[in-house]
Structure formats: C-alpha cells, structure tokens
Structure 1
Amino acid sequence: MVSKQRLFDDELLNKSKEEREKFFNDYTVSHPKMKQVLIELKNEIYKGSHNIIMVVGPSGVGKSRLFNATINSVIKDMKQELEENKSIIPITGIELPNPDLGKFNWKDFYYRVLTSVNEPLIDYKIDLSVVNKMPNSPLRTTRTASTAAALRRSIESAFFYRETKALLIDEAQHFFKINSDYRGNSEKNQKQFNSIKSLANMSHTKIVLFGTYDLNAVFNLDGQLSRRVKEIHFPRYDFANDKDIKNFKSILLTFQKLLPLPREANLMEHFVYLYENCIGCTGILKNWLQRCLSDALENNEDTITYTNLKRNALLTKKLLTLANEALDGELIFKESKGDKEKLKELLGTKKDVRTDKKEQKNNLNPGKRKPTRDDVGLI
C-alpha cells in the first residue's frame, strides 16, 4: 500500500510506465524562490514602468517552469475577463531557437509570435504601406509569402486587439548570439535591443526575456541597454544560506513523495550528494530524478536507490562548468562595499580632509566660547 502521505493515488501504480513518467514530469513544484520571482514578475507586468523585463538565472534553475507558471497564473488572474470577452489573449510566449549560422532571423521570430496568438493567414500578410504606393503591384491579386515588415505590423495589431499584456520569450540570450559571440559587438547588440524595445512600445505590450547570465552580461556591457531594462534574478539555492538549505530539503521531500514507485525513496538520506550533483538548481534536480524514475521503471525496481542516483547523475566536469557559470553570474547581483567606494570615487563624492576641516570650522554654535586654556596666576 502507498502511504497516505504520498502525493499520488494508489491507482497510479497500476498504470503504464509512460503514464507514471508523465505524471512526475508534468508536476511543477512551486518552491519559495520560484514563488518570490513569480510575484515580482507579475507586479512588473501589471504595474511596472519598464516595457522590457529580464529574468535571469543559472542553467537548470527552472526558468522554463517559471515561464509556464507565469502564463498559467496570469490567465487564472484574468479568468473573469476571459469569460466576459473570449477574444482577448492576455499573455503569450515562445521559445527562441538558437540562430543558424550566427544570424538572427526576425521573420521567423515574428512568425512564431503570431502563431502563439493563433493569428490566421500568417502566410498571406502584406505591408499595405508599400502596396498602396504601387497601384499595379501583383501583390494586390497574387498570394505571396509575408515580409518581415508585414508580420511585424500584424503582431502590433494582434497584440492591440487581443489586449495582450505580455510576451514571454524563453532562451532570450539567442537574440544576441550573433556570430557565436554574445559580447563582441555592442553596436549589433544595441540594434537587436532597439528592435525588441520598438516592438514593445508600438504594441503596448511588455516583453519578458528569460535567459541565462549571458543575457545579463550583454546588457551590463552597455549603459544604454541596462538602464532601460528591469532585471529580476532567479537564483539557485545556496548551501551557505541556512534558509536556502531548509527550503531545498523541503523541495527534496516533495519530490520524494511524488515519485510513483511502490516504495518511497529515502532521498533525504542522500541530501548532500543530491545538492552537490544539482548545484542547488531545482531544474537540474528534477531532470535527474526523471532519469532515475525511468531507469527504475525500466528495470522493475520498486524504489530509487543511491546506486540508481549515481548511475544517472551528470558528469562531474559538466557540473563544474555549470557551477562556475552560476557563481560568476551571481557576482553581478551582489552589492559590494568596494563597488560603492569606486562609484563615489568616480563621481567625486568621497569626502576629503579639506572638506571635513572646513565643515568643522564653520559649524560652531553662536555665543559658545572656543575651547582654549585661560591664563592663571598673573596680575
């Protein structure tokens, strides 16, 4: 019998391997860091002053889960409005593909966005501003493939009439992966960003970029870019933080009770090993446990053991790369006294000795004697 504390019904154990895997894979654990970021992100979508919002974190932290959770949460918030007006699409999202040959394809991007809002006749969009200048143009009578400009105008129109509040873009660092280099060309990055910002302004829709720390590094290289974007950090769980470790253990226990196997695994017994091999990222942990579950079901094992965990863990070299990238990225969000002092030095706001002496000299109270030694013993 399955314990009453397990997070699935007994009947699930009688279902197929595929159904049990799907149950675990589809289940999203809303943990403290995800909840915190989700609240901040929704506040920015509803009330924020920035049209471009950037959610960044390490690979495997759970950004794609947050992406889906944001869409579901906004739709839930607007349930009444959606019932009253079935034509609106309050939020939509796409995953950005890695650009082929280091060249970003705007037409493909526009096509994917229009598809996400179920726009009809995407292949037959035309730019009327051009056609109207050409009375004898064959475009008036002949079906042609849509141009990028025509698709762009269609997005602006669709977002306006669909009352779309936000467009979410996963893997957004691919916007700036030009010639296989995120950071090598500030001018090209500026052009890419200006196109994104223009789309947000013209469509009156917030654009939310989900990406790795590479995305944040691009924006921090250019003051013009960084000041126009609202940054939201989605961090991993830090082993040096007691509260983080407590929350990580709670997440581990939840996963333990979600695994649809006859005998409940004792993941808590291997807490440190599990943390090390997911570097505190819940996405890496979830994918690891998915592999373990599939392995256990394939071999007719009744639970997940340490042997199973070890067999399905990522290679240590891969984990080292992920850990180094995460630690480097986290430094961007950590305020340091040294940075503050450097800023003061650059701006010339650090007080010097002359300023202090001048303030002391001019700051005496009226009518109060200066401290001095009186002469004594003289007639």
Structure 2
Amino acid sequence: MTKKQRLFGEELLSKSKKERESFFNDFTVSHTKMKQVSDELKNEIYKGSQNIIMVVGPSGVGKSRLFTATVLSVLRDMKEETEKDRSIIPISGIELPNPDLGKFNWKDFYYRVLSSLRDPLIDYKIDVTDIEKKNRKGKKSNKKNPLNANTAPELRRSIESAFFNRKTKALLIDEAQHFFKINSEKRGSSEQNQRQFNSIKSLANMSTTKIVLFGTYDLNAVFNLDGQLSRRVKEIHFPRYDYTNANDRKSFQALLLTFQKLLPVEKEPDLRKYSEYIYENSIGCAGILKNWLQRCLSDALEKEEMTITYQNLKRNALQTKKLLTLANEAITGEYYFSDNKKDKKELQTLLGIKKEKDNEKPKRKNNPKPGIRKPERDTVGLA
C-alpha cells in the first residue's frame, strides 16, 4: 500500500514525535458500533419521549469518545441556529467525579453544570430565603462568602433557568455511575437510589432538557434493581465487538484497517494480519484498542522503528489478568441486554401465561384403520 492511500498527509511523517502522537490520539474513528449508538442517541435527543437517556457499555468501549463526538455533532447540526442567536447553547456536558467519602455532593454537581453553561455569576448565587430570615432577625448577610452550604437550591433554580434560556437540548454526564456511589451502609439501597434518580429526573422535567447518563454496566445494574427506575429510562447499549459474530468480525477487521492507515509511521503496519491476537488483547473494545495503539506508536517513534510490529504489539499489550477482569465485567454486563428463552419462560411463569403448545399432551398414535392389524412379526415355532 502506498502512502497516498493513508489517512494523513505525507508531511506529517516529517513532524515531531509529539505532533505525530497528537494526530493519532486526537483522531476519533467513527466505526460501526459507535455510528450505530451515535445515531440512536441523537434520535433520542431530538425526537425521543424519555427525558432520561442512559448509554452503557464495558470499560474501554469508547463511551468518552462518543460523549465528545455527540457534543460536536449536535453543535454542527445547530450551527445555523447558534449563528442567528448567540445566546443558544444547544448541548453541554460534564464528567462526574467520584464522590468523596462515599457522599454525593449536589452543590458541587450544580456548580459544574453551571460552569459548562458558562454562567458568569456562579460564585454569587444567594439563597434569597436565607437573606429574608436574617433581615427579619436584624442580622447582616454574609457578603464575603455568598456561596455557602445553603445555596444549593438557588444553584438548582439557576440551572433550570439557564437550560430554558439557553435552549439546551441535552446535558451529557460522563461517569454517571458515580451518582449512585453512596455510603457503604446505603450502597445498593433501592430507596436511596430512587431519591438520587428522582433528583435527576426532576431536573430534566423542570428544565425540559434531556439528561444523558454515560456509564459502565454498574449504572445499568442500579436501574435494574428497581422497576420504578428502569421503566423511566431509555437504555442504549454500547457493546464491544463479538468475534463469534460474522458481522462483528468483519466490522472489527475494518476498524483495524482504519487504524493502520491512521498510524503515522514510515511504513503502514498490517494489523489485520494479527487480528485474532489483537481482538484477544483488546476484548473487542475500540477504546482499549486505541489506547494500546497509542502506546505502540509512542514506543515505535521512541525506538525509531519504521512500523508497528508484532513484537511492539506484544510489548505494549495489557496484562492478561487485567484483560480477564475487563472481559468478565463486559460479559456479565452484556447479560442484562440479552433476551433468552429462560428469561421468557420465567416471565410467562410469573404472569401465569402458558402457550397452547406447552399445555398440549403428546397424542397417542392409534391405528388409523380399525380392524386392520399393524404390520409386525408373528412368533413362529413351538410354544
């Protein structure tokens, strides 16, 4: 294959190691799985009936890339509207931090959302009810620190107002499973999860803005524990590639071809030659594969190697124990999205439904013509 067929200009090969790495790292590949999930997600944002959308998949599948790609895609779609009205922010997003001490901080969450909406006066939100109480008692308000523990309701109202005035269609939240990482004595509590979810749903309802939760299968497990939660959410599964599936295997090969044409090394590597090995060491996750190839590229450039070799791939692969952990988590999570006969049968049993063929008893095979013997061998010889 010639350099002309590759997905970058030849001049990139003469640039610095940092520039070549940045080109590959920053490039988002819209592969089959991502495109399918992206199309479904955008359709839900624009036309869906549910205010809460949940995008779940295994670690390393590419959810964070999808997060960024969705923001950019909606901004492109709304370019004409935003040029006419500069006040519009059609979509926004934040990454949710892991809660300190197992306690979710709503005030910090509201603050981050307002920051993403470029609110100019976040540090000056004041709880008006608190000021009124102090005025009645003749006390002075704390002007030095207007943002205190009592201002969370005011921040919440500011978000609702900002969403409305900015005409924001969706708020994207990455690492959303952190919403439900609460104190150990409450973890797994359906009641506590319900309260957390109700706060999220209330924000979506009051602001008429859809909230998209990106997370691991841990997020899906929380919602499946409670029927009240699961029925109010639109679930979108972002799966890995399944090598036992012919279509997935073909799509994975195409993904490898795209990556090998993007790698800015002197000689284009032949990743498809090692497709089974690469699948095994990426468990079919595009994100894990991309990170692996980033390490390989950095290694090759550092050693001034001409291309990505099998030895290079092997040096930079994840440890087998880590891959086993990732694979087990992925396969366990995928179970929630699989419909099987056992689950259907259990559902029918719970509902008291039985199909007609299940009630039918096997019919006895009678002689079709009475009086005529069936063909059989008679006993011969002396009794």
> How much has 1:352 moved relative to structure 2?
7.2
Matched residues, number:
358
Are 2:134 and 2:141, in contact at CA under 8 Å, matched by a contact in 1?
no
Question: Residue 250 in 1 paired to residue 254 in 2?
Answer: yes
CA shift in 2, pair 1:194/1:308, >3 Å: same
> How much has 1:259 moved relative to structure 2?
0.5
Question: Residue 334 in 1 paired to residue 338 in 2?
Answer: yes
- 2:87 maps to what in 1? 87
| Alignment equivalent of 2:312, drawn from 308, 312, 330 | 308
| Alignment equivalent of 1:289, drawn from 280, 289, 293 | 293
Instruction: Give me the whole-angstrom Cα distance separating, in 2, the residues matched to 1:139 and 1:76.
Output: 45
| Alignment equivalent of 1:139, drawn from 133, 138, 141 | 141
- 1:53 maps to what in 2? 53
Instruction: Give me the whole-angstrom Cα distance separating, in 2, the residues matched to 1:254 and 1:355.
Output: 54
Deviations 1:260-307 (A, max 9, x none): 111111111111110000000000000000001111111111111111
CA shift in 2, pair 1:130/1:49, >3 Å: farther
Instruction: Give me the whole-angstrom Cα distance separating, in 2, the residues matched to 1:205 and 1:262.
Output: 48
Are 1:176 and 1:182, in contact at CA under 8 Å, matched by a contact in 2?
no
- 1:362 maps to what in 2? none
Question: Residue 9 in 1 paired to residue 9 in 2?
Answer: yes
Question: Residue 158 in 1 paired to residue 159 in 2?
Answer: no
Secondary structure of the 1:332 match is helix
Secondary structure of the 1:240 match is coil
Are 1:165 and 1:205, in contact at CA under 8 Å, matched by a contact in 2?
yes
Q: Spell out the pairing of 1:195-344 with structure 2 (5 A cutoff).
A: 195-344=199-348
Deviations 1:100-144 (A, max 9, x none): 111111111111111111111211111224434543553385551
- The letter of the residue matching 1:310 is K
Structure 2 alignment gaps of length 5 or more? 362-369, 371-383
Secondary structure of the 1:138 match is coil
Name the TM-score, length of structure 1 as normaliser. Answer: 0.90
Instruction: Give me the whole-angstrom Cα distance separating, in 2, the residues matched to 1:280 and 1:181.
Output: 36
- The letter of the residue matching 2:140 is P
- 1:104 maps to what in 2? 104
- 2:125 maps to what in 1? 125
CA shift in 2, pair 1:278/1:204, >3 Å: same
Instruction: Give me the whole-angstrom Cα distance separating, in 2, the residues matched to 1:329 and 1:78.
Output: 35
Secondary structure of the 1:156 match is helix
Name the TM-score, length of structure 2 as normaliser. Answer: 0.89
**Two-structure CA RMSD over aligned residues (Å):** 2.1
- The letter of the residue matching 1:330 is E
CA shift in 2, pair 1:260/1:125, >3 Å: same
Instruction: Give me the whole-angstrom Cα distance separating, in 1, the residues matched to 2:252 and 2:357.
Output: 50
CA shift in 2, pair 1:82/1:243, >3 Å: same
Worse-matched range after superposition: 128-137 or 57-66: 128-137
- 1:74 maps to what in 2? 74
Are 2:173 and 2:211, in contact at CA under 8 Å, matched by a contact in 1?
yes
Deviations 1:324-363 (A, max 9, x none): 1100111111111221121111111225799989xxxxxx
- The letter of the residue matching 2:141 is L
CA shift in 2, pair 1:340/1:355, >3 Å: closer
Deviations 1:142-187 (A, max 9, x none): 5512521121111111111001010000000011011358952111
Secondary structure of the 1:139 match is coil
Are 1:52 and 1:229, in contact at CA under 8 Å, matched by a contact in 2?
yes
- 2:374 maps to what in 1? none
- The letter of the residue matching 1:313 is A
Secondary structure of the 1:209 match is strand
Percent identity, aligned pairs only, is: 72
